[in-house]
């Protein structure tokens, strides 16, 4: 149990376009979902925390107008990278939690390349 999927697994887009990444908890209801960004040879950096039906809480330095997060249901959260630029190219990982922040189940990640 506790499977989290992400779609797409990788995406290439042109600069200036928007890209949406989905994160789904397949066999449980996730009250909280987390979005991380991982640079090569770097740790996972938390971008934002979202609770179902509430606005996401963004970490310091993360542009909320750039990275739109929607958590409309207990099994789905989306991250939209708006007006993407090459510097947004990265590996984006989501995780989902039933309750405690300590128990997070991670998706396989989405690799974004902006040309």
Partner 1 sequence: GDSVTQMEGPVTLSEEAFLTINCTYTATGYPSLFWYVQYPGEGLQLLLKATKADDKGSNKGFEATYRKETTSFHLEKGSVQVSDSAVYFCALSGSEKLVFGKGTKLTVNP
- Of 65 and 100, the one with the shorter C-beta distance to partner 1 is 100
- Paired sense of beta strands 32-38 and 90-97, if any: antiparallel
Does 102 bind partner 1 (CB under 8 A)? Our answer is: yes
Tell me: does residue 41 bind partner 1 (CB under 8 A). yes
Q: Is the distance from CB of 29 to CB of 74 less than 8 angstroms?
A: yes
62 binds partner 1 (CB under 8 A): no
Rule CB under 8 A: say whether 26 interacts with partner 1.
no
Our finding on whether 101 is near partner 1 (CB under 8 A) is yes
Who's near 22: CB < 8 A, 6+ residues apart?
A: 6, 7, 76, 77, 78
Contacts 24+ apart (CB under 8 A), 65-72: 67/35, 69/35, 71/33
Q: Would you say 51 or 89 has its CB closer to partner 1?
A: 51
User: Which chain residues interact with partner 1 by CB under 8 A?
Assistant: 4, 6, 34, 41-44, 46, 49, 93, 95, 101-109
């Amino acid at each position: 149990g506790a499977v989290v999927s992400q779609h797409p697994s990788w995406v290439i887009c042109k600069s200036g376009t928007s890209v949406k990444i989905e994160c789904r908890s397949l066999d449980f209801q996730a009250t909280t979902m987390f979005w991380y960004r991982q640079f090569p040879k770097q740790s996972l950096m938390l971008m934002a925390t979202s609770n179902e039906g509430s606005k996401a809480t963004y970490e310091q330095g993360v542009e909320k107008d750039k990275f739109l997060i929607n958590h409309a249901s207990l099994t789905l959260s989306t991250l939209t990278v708006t007006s993407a630029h090459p510097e947004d190219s990265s590996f984006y990982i989501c995780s989902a939690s039933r309750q405690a922040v300590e128990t997070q189940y991670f998706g396989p990640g989405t690799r974004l390349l902006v040309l």
